[in-house]
A and B are shown apart, each in its own frame.
Chain A
Amino acid sequence: MSASWIVRNLWLIPALPMVAAGISALLKKGQRGLSAALAIGSMGTALALAVMAFVEALAHPAVQVLNFQWLQFGDQWVTLGWLLDPLAAVMLVMVTFVGLLIFVYSLGYMAHDDNFARFFCFMSLFAGAMLGVVIANSLLLLFMCWEVVGLTSYLLIGFWFHRPAAAAAAKKAFVTTRVGDLGLLIGMVWLYAQAGTLTFYDYGRGCLEQGAVSAMAAHITVAGMAVSTAIGLLIFCGAMGKSGQVPLHVWLPDAMEGPTPVSALIHAATMVAAGVYLVARVYPLMSGTALEVVAWVGAITAIFAACIAVAQNDIKRILAYSTVSQLGYMMLGLGVGGVAVGMFHLITHAFFKALLFLGAGSVIHGCTEEQDIRNMGGLRRWMPVTFATYACGMLALCGFPLFAGFWSKDAILHAAHGWGVSRGPFYLGAVGALLTAFYMTRQMYYVFFGPQRVTDAGVGAAPVASHAIPAEQIEPVVSARPGEVCAIADPHESPAVMTGPLAILAVFACVLGFAGTPAWPWFQNFLAGQTTRFDWAGFGEPGLMSVMMVSSAIVLVGLMLGWWFYGRKPIVRVTDPDALEKLQPGIFHALANRLYVDELYGVTVIALARFCAGFAAWLDRWIFGGAVRLVSWIVTGVSWLDAGVDKYVVNGGFDEGCRELGRGGRLLSHLENGRVQNYLRVIAGALVVLAVLLLWSHRG
């Protein structure tokens, strides 16, 4: 069987950006244009190839693989490879397309940054690794790319490394995701031991194929779990870390320390969705029990993060918590509805959340690096394009009827509603949807509506007025009293290189949902390898219309509540307390402090780790080292004792013996004093003695 050209050369898609990154790394700091050109060129080519792959997957929806041997141990080989199926094809196109737009946007956003070239190097490396995750046909290769993705995330969060907060956030992100990755690693080696391979599809021998999966499902291990369940849950640990599921979500909001295009690409559209993709990829392994866990974790994450988002004031942090919440929805979708349900939300979310982040970046750019929404206000007048596109993204995220998020979120809620195990996740998801509409409305009012917010003179940045806007356009909304100035000095719209991508993404945020409506579930069928016909009867599925009605009503209620609290009476001053804060200060502060999860970890896990570190060092110094010292003291003591014995007993005795010997020698030396007469005398005496002896002995 000969695979088509694109399948054989699928590796080019991740390799191109990686090579671009490699070349870029060797460039000099000043070669900014070349670095950007390399990144964008490679990404554009990758997009073209991804589209080719997509077309190929349309024509041949079955999984196509290409495996090769990588590493030999004993008489066995570790096999790696890549695959093309509809799931991978969709992700390829999404990542390359959104990535390309964000690269272009970055040209404007990062234009003034010193390390512009390095930025594109890291971004390209990220894109390559992410595309590697997508096409990997082996859990090992996926894991390798997954870790490199984690590295680039680390590098880009800490891109402005001179800021201690950025450095700390980068480390936190890497370590937190690594906690999950350890589960993934154990799951991976366990899977390897059980299935004998980590290759997903290998003509019937892969670990995701019938034979291996049913063998693992039949094998019971600890706690009465099937091996496949245990492995599935361990793999899910990795997904939880990467996709910011509670309780490993803490790194994602902090990751907003990175430049905004990074947040859009990595921490909204692609990398954080890799966890969802991973679960979708190993879906055949996920048993019913494992999926229950996935669904519950997803539902809890969805509502937990949505609650916190309500009380945040940093424009990017709101979106970050929103991302966490939406990732929860995706997991919920995978748990209750299957691959297509979760993946559809992943794809729509990628577009509208990238749009929102880039919009937020445009706002931040236009407000001279201001991120606190309380300082903004009324920006729609200065940033019409940003405002309009942001509104599209916001409506899509809220799930406003007919926008992209509406269809995908509705599919999740519908599936949750029909889930046989429990109705709980449905309710959590529904309340989460209400909160989503609410916090996004709050953000819109704070950022784009009302008057430009004012603050006491001397606190704000610069004096009022001097806007580069024709006088007639300035509405008399700036209600600055004497002594007050606008918090944002000179808001301005971003250049076309930034608004262009916004506009393109906005179109997708509006229409992408139509690719997967109940009447024309093209997306779902494509993933399943089926063709699609348009049929209104799709809406007739039991419970579908009622869930749709309910969720639309929920969205409207959320929007109304947002308007009631934040739109009805415009917020004028930076120092005005939040409407919710006035109502429920206790709850608001708890939410604003992110429910103290970080603090909790600080006094538990981190404190424990610190204690262990200190303990290990102490153990070394006093117990192991102490034992060694003890031995050495004993040895030294024995040596001293020995030396003493030597000196006073042995040596003394020896010396005494020597002296004795000397005296004896001197005594005896008198015998040998060289006088012959003496010798003769001795000989004569001896002869006499001898004679006497002989005679005496002969007597008997």
Chain B
Amino acid sequence: MITLLTLFPIAGGLLVLALSKLGDLARVVAVVFAAGALAVAGLFWYGLDPRNPGMQFEEHHAWAPALGIAYHAGVDGLGVLMLVLSAVVTLMSLAASWRNEKHGPVYFALVLFLEAGLFGTFTALNFVHWFIFWELSLIPAFFLVRIWGGNGRAKAAAQFFLYTMVGSVALLLAFLALFVATGQFDFVQLAQLGRSGALTTALGQNLHWGGSPEHLAMLLFWAAFLGFAVKAAVVPFHTWLPSTYAEASSETTMLLTGAMSKMGVYGFLRVLLPIFPTQMQHAMKPLLWMAVASIVLPAFAAWAQKDLKRTFAYSSINHLGYCVLGVCVAAKFTGSDAGMAAEKAAALTGVLLQMFSHGLTAACLFWFIALLERRSGGLRGIEDFGGLRKVVPVFSGLMGIAIFASLGLPGLNGFPAEFLIFKGAFALAPWASSAAVLGLLMTAVFLLTVIQKVFSGPVNPRWSAMPDLTLTERLALAPAIALMFVLGLYPQLITGMLHTTVMQWVGGMGF
């Protein structure tokens, strides 16, 4: 079932390539397949038993048993959430590309391949199987940036690729070490070893490296951390992100920020937290510092940007920072009282909500930028516009909703997530959380500056004839905007599916 889901977009991509001579038909096929993938992901959502905390829809095939390699796929609440998010964001991105003449069949095919990579990553439970998809998703992303990006695309794509590769290599080495020590590549098995402390023991017994096994475990943790931190753009491993997001075409950035950036956070949740809980506790101080830095510094930096895409790119780092904060505090050692378990549950639920919510909002924002670029002939400086609310009221109104969702306005999707993260984080790490609220303030400052400069003030005569959203565009955007309201008012739609998964993590951490 899961395999079918993963193969589905690949089939779509191949079909698109096969039909590439037919032009428009390729687009239709691509969108149909993306919609189909969303429907199948939706089936998983529907079929997931929310009372069962374990992996569901599991598939387990031996592959190279001697090497611990297996084809092991399955989903829990987190996996399904990510599947649906990937499918939603891909569909949005394709819809946004619909009228982009530069994006031909090859582009659409690559997007579908990327979606397959995402599906594979979010369902694989064996490291090798997972790592293949993890890297596989990088390749289409690289070409999407490299071929269809802006003027600085070559440099940005190379930076993006190499940066991520460095992280991946560190990650790979860490897991090879783990395999040598334990003979395991399976996430579920490794997590059990990590929780029980047997992992460190095994490292001590089977790897002779001259230091204490605790130090080795720590080293492996940091190596794995690097892999995910680069992907989730944790400060100071984030510098690839603004240039990549800015240089990639906005439709590609939708995918990068909406879905791919979540791979890093997913890794934190699926790998670091279960396999290295003790190490995370020991590294709590630097981790919290990095999380707070990821929240506060980009929010300030965003205010200093002149390019809308760079502004929103920094905003993405800031929003992912809340996720990192939530994951880190959840690992914090605080004794085993029930109150703290509730705080951890709150923080982790918040992280999951935030991943989905930010994916939706950020993809929407870059969609609006794509629409704006198309109308302005590629211009997207904050100072290039002015008074657009008068000229394109519907566009401004809808983008305004997305901006306020990003700002965390209650009633829209961002708020429940940020509230839960802060609720948990404050009880577990009060000072770090108090410092992090500065990010909330600066987010308001730079987002409202965008509104002020772009939408308010006298109309810039250059754009006095800018066309407002067409009916098709409105209809395409409407579901995304509606979803923002739905998730803001009724977040239980998502959290209702996640609570056992979260409880499993909290209980499993056993501290």
Task: Render A141-156 as a binary contact track against B, CB cut-off 8 A, 1 for contact.
Answer: 0011101100100100
Rounded to whole Å, the gap between the CB of A534 and the closest CB of chain B is: 45
Rounded to whole Å, the gap between the CB of B424 and the closest CB of chain A is: 8
Q: Is the interface of B mostly helix, strand, loop or mixed?
A: helix
Rounded to whole Å, the gap between the CB of A514 and the closest CB of chain B is: 39
Between A and B, 29 residue pairs with Cβ closer than 8 Å are A73-B502, A74-B348, A74-B349, A74-B499, A74-B503, A74-B506, A75-B342, A75-B499, A76-B345, A144-B415, A147-B410, A151-B404, A161-B387, A161-B389, A161-B456, A162-B387, A162-B457, A167-B456, A171-B448, A175-B445, A178-B441, A189-B419, A193-B426, A196-B339, A613-B301, A615-B300, A616-B297, A620-B242, A620-B301
List chain A residues, Cβ under 8 A from B159. 628
In the complex where A148-B409, A193-B343 touch, is A628 in contact with B300 (Cβ < 8 A)? no
Q: Would you call A565 an interface residue if the criterion is a C-beta within 8 Å of the partner chain's C-beta atoms?
A: no
Rounded to whole Å, the gap between the CB of A34 and the closest CB of chain B is: 18
Task: Render A165-191 as a binary contact track against B, CB cut-off 8 A, 1 for contact.
Answer: 011101100110011001001100110
Task: Render B404-415 as a binary contact track against A, CB cut-off 8 A, 1 for contact.
Answer: 100001110001
Contact status A167-B457, CB under 8 Å? yes
Contact status A628-B239, CB under 8 Å? yes
Number of interface residues of A (CB under 8 A): 55
Contact status A70-B410, CB under 8 Å? no
Q: Is the interface of A mostly helix, strand, loop or mixed?
A: helix
Binds A, one of B105-113, B276-284, B489-497: B489-497
Contact of B495 among A72, A171, A620, A623 (CB under 8 A): A72
Contact status B300-A612, CB under 8 Å? yes
Q: Would you call A624 an interface residue if the criterion is a C-beta within 8 Å of the partner chain's C-beta atoms?
A: yes
Rounded to whole Å, the gap between the CB of A609 and the closest CB of chain B is: 7
Q: Would you call B269 an interface residue if the criterion is a C-beta within 8 Å of the partner chain's C-beta atoms?
A: no
Q: Would you call B319 an interface residue if the criterion is a C-beta within 8 Å of the partner chain's C-beta atoms?
A: no
CA distance A201 to B163 in the complex (A): 53
CA distance A182 to B238 in the complex (A): 26
Task: Render A344-356 as a binary contact track against B, CB cut-off 8 A, 1 for contact.
Answer: 0000000000000
In the complex where A174-B448, A186-B426, A193-B426 touch, is A148 in contact with B410 (Cβ < 8 A)? yes
CA distance A75 to B422 in the complex (A): 18
CA distance A185 to B441 in the complex (A): 11
CA distance A615 to B298 in the complex (A): 11
Contact status A624-B236, CB under 8 Å? yes
List chain B residues, Cβ under 8 A from A144. 410-411, 415
List chain A residues, Cβ under 8 A from B298. 616
CA distance A400 to B3 in the complex (A): 81
Rounded to whole Å, the gap between the CB of A76 and the closest CB of chain B is: 5
Rounded to whole Å, the gap between the CB of A453 and the closest CB of chain B is: 31
Nearest residue (CB) in B for A146 is: B410
CA distance A72 to B445 in the complex (A): 31
List chain B residues, Cβ under 8 A from A609. 300, 303, 442, 445
Contact status A193-B457, CB under 8 Å? no
Rounded to whole Å, the gap between the CB of B234 and the closest CB of chain A is: 11
Given contacts A71-B492, A74-B345, A162-B457, list 5 more A-B pairs with CB under 8 A: A73-B502, A162-B390, A170-B452, A619-B297, A624-B239
Contact status B437-A182, CB under 8 Å? yes
Contact status B437-A73, CB under 8 Å? no
In the complex where A162-B456, A164-B456, A175-B448 touch, is A143 in contact with B239 (Cβ < 8 A)? no
Contact status A189-B422, CB under 8 Å? yes
Rounded to whole Å, the gap between the CB of A502 and the closest CB of chain B is: 32
Task: Render B432-464 as a binary contact track against A, CB cut-off 8 A, 1 for contact.
Answer: 011001101110110011011001111100000
Task: Render A550-589 as a binary contact track against B, CB cut-off 8 A, 1 for contact.
Answer: 0000000000000000000000000000000000000000
Q: Would you call B124 an interface residue if the criterion is a C-beta within 8 Å of the partner chain's C-beta atoms?
A: no
Rounded to whole Å, the gap between the CB of B120 and the closest CB of chain A is: 29
The residues in B between 309 and 347 inclusive whose CB is less than 8 angstroms from any CB of A are: 339, 341-346
List chain B residues, Cβ under 8 A from A613. 300-301, 303-304, 442
Q: Would you call B350 an interface residue if the criterion is a C-beta within 8 Å of the partner chain's C-beta atoms?
A: yes
List chain B residues, Cβ under 8 A from A253. none
Q: Would you call A627 an interface residue if the criterion is a C-beta within 8 Å of the partner chain's C-beta atoms?
A: yes
CA distance A192 to B342 in the complex (A): 11
Nearest residue (CB) in B for A161 is: B456
CA distance A178 to B442 in the complex (A): 10
Nearest residue (CB) in A for B387 is: A162
List chain A residues, Cβ under 8 A from B410. 143-145, 147-148
